[in-house]
Structure 1
């Protein structure tokens, strides 16, 4: 563990039942941090927390449900302590053409990817400010480059990027805000796409992904371990072969 960091740091990771969220929770726990794993899939986060053992807490909640997040904030405070690292990782990527048939997917992405991150941060902000903390917002390369078929997903990520920069300036110097923008990472993210043709194409692309969730988690763990006088504000990462 980096000697500049206290072993009692407490992190909350959303979307912690798989992918980057799970890998980040595991990386933090390996550093000696206490970790709250928040996700909708109760059995999955409970199994991960049991595997990690002492200092890991499973919380079943949906980031679109503010009441559930408020309850989670009380639970974490009582069972682990004050949260000083928040990883806004929960997100969905429901790609497809812009058409009426996809309207439920569009609204779901806005609710989870954008409003979910905003609400989670709002609920935990007092804890993060109290003594200094870190917010890690997981965006995407799509937050920089929109392509045909990813318009609403890209819109949510562009919004996260803009909000993160504003939040960074607003919370100085109490809380450091870092924006992480991964490219193609080997996770289950594309498996939820409902548009058949898009799903087939994207799943084929992701099946060849060389960057893993552990790779991203390692970068996140490095970031939060930097001394407080240093802030890493933005991280763009891709497989070396991705255009």
Structure 2
């Protein structure tokens, strides 16, 4: 741990720094990922950020470092298992451990099933499901060796209910919940597992909707939304609990929304 950023004037590590964790965040270039990076870095954690848009990551890391926080990034495609493994390996080489992996990367190109947008279905499966599996496969052995760790998997209210145009998206988020619960049951005692399920949240997630009817429906649906910082707060809450407390599921919705 770097003494210039994590010790007080007397040279003794303060309590805030002692709680510092190495937190890896996928999909960190915008939205929930970026908000989480800002909040956790400001809280004294060492964040290691991954996404495909390195220009945004560079700007975000520059902002955090200029504020005196510990942050670094690496280009990451969560659909590539080898790339996710390298992401985790580099973070471990830099910081010596991996305490938390926030599996946040996700896509949401909604459409009716009859539109047969099969390439979009494949993309959602690759990012939303395989991306989480790749993260687990890369980080779980590291956490086992070091004697503990924490997975925070970002699902959705779509992991609890299905709506028109969202069948495939919801299926991927149901899968994230199932994978998380299985991992929790298999890892009781040393690995914590949290599912955070956002309701409508201010983000770029809906920007990739190509189907015109689904795009308009989502614009209407997203008229009431919580800021990405609200989801970051939930993630920080779960991470900040004592080691013997495992917050398994958090659902965060706009208070004005019935769904």
Q: TM-score, normalization: structure 1?
A: 0.94
Aligned pairs, number: 241
Instruction: Compute the displacement of 1:101 (Å).
Output: 3.7
Matched, 1:106 2:121: yes
In structure 2, what is the equivalent of residue 157 of structure 1?
Answer: 173
In structure 2, what is the equivalent of residue 16 of structure 1?
Answer: 28
Map 1:68-217 → 2, pairs under 5 A: 68-99=83-114, 101-129=116-144, 130-206=146-222, 208-217=223-232
Tell me whether 114-123 or 193-202 shows the greater mean CA deviation: 193-202
Asked whether the 8 Å contact 1:76–1:83 carries over to 2, the reply is yes
Secondary structure of 2:101's counterpart equals strand
Q: Distance in 2 between matches of 1:46 and 1:63?
A: 18
Secondary structure of 1:172's counterpart equals coil
Instruction: Compute the displacement of 1:197 (Å).
Output: 1.8
Secondary structure of 2:117's counterpart equals helix
Distance 1:5 1:122, change over 3 A: farther
Instruction: Compute the displacement of 1:7 (Å).
Output: 3.8
Instruction: Compute the displacement of 1:124 (Å).
Output: 1.1
Asked whether the 8 Å contact 1:94–1:193 carries over to 2, the reply is yes
In structure 2, what is the equivalent of residue 6 of structure 1?
Answer: 18
Matched, 1:242 2:254: no
Q: Distance in 2 between matches of 1:71 and 1:220?
A: 24
Larger radius of gyration: 2
RMSD after superposition: 1.6
In structure 1, what is the equivalent of residue 76 of structure 2?
Answer: 61
Q: Distance in 1 between matches of 2:118 and 2:57?
A: 30
- Segments of 5+ residues of structure 2 without an aligned counterpart are 1-13
Q: Distance in 2 between matches of 1:105 and 1:5?
A: 43
Q: Distance in 2 between matches of 1:27 and 1:209?
A: 23
In structure 1, what is the equivalent of residue 243 of structure 2?
Answer: 228
Q: Over residues 27-84 of structure 1, what are the superposed CA-to-partner deviations in whole Å (9 max), with x where a residue is unaligned?
A: 1101111101110111111111111115201110100011111221221122223111
Asked whether the 8 Å contact 1:4–1:227 carries over to 2, the reply is no
Q: Distance in 2 between matches of 1:173 and 1:5?
A: 25
Asked whether the 8 Å contact 1:39–1:59 carries over to 2, the reply is yes
Instruction: Compute the displacement of 1:139 (Å).
Output: 0.3
In structure 2, what is the equivalent of residue 218 of structure 1?
Answer: 233
Instruction: Compute the displacement of 1:127 (Å).
Output: 2.1
Q: Distance in 2 between matches of 1:136 and 1:21?
A: 12
Asked whether the 8 Å contact 2:16–2:44 carries over to 1, the reply is no
Tell me whether 78-87 or 146-155 shows the greater mean CA deviation: 78-87
Matched, 1:30 2:42: yes
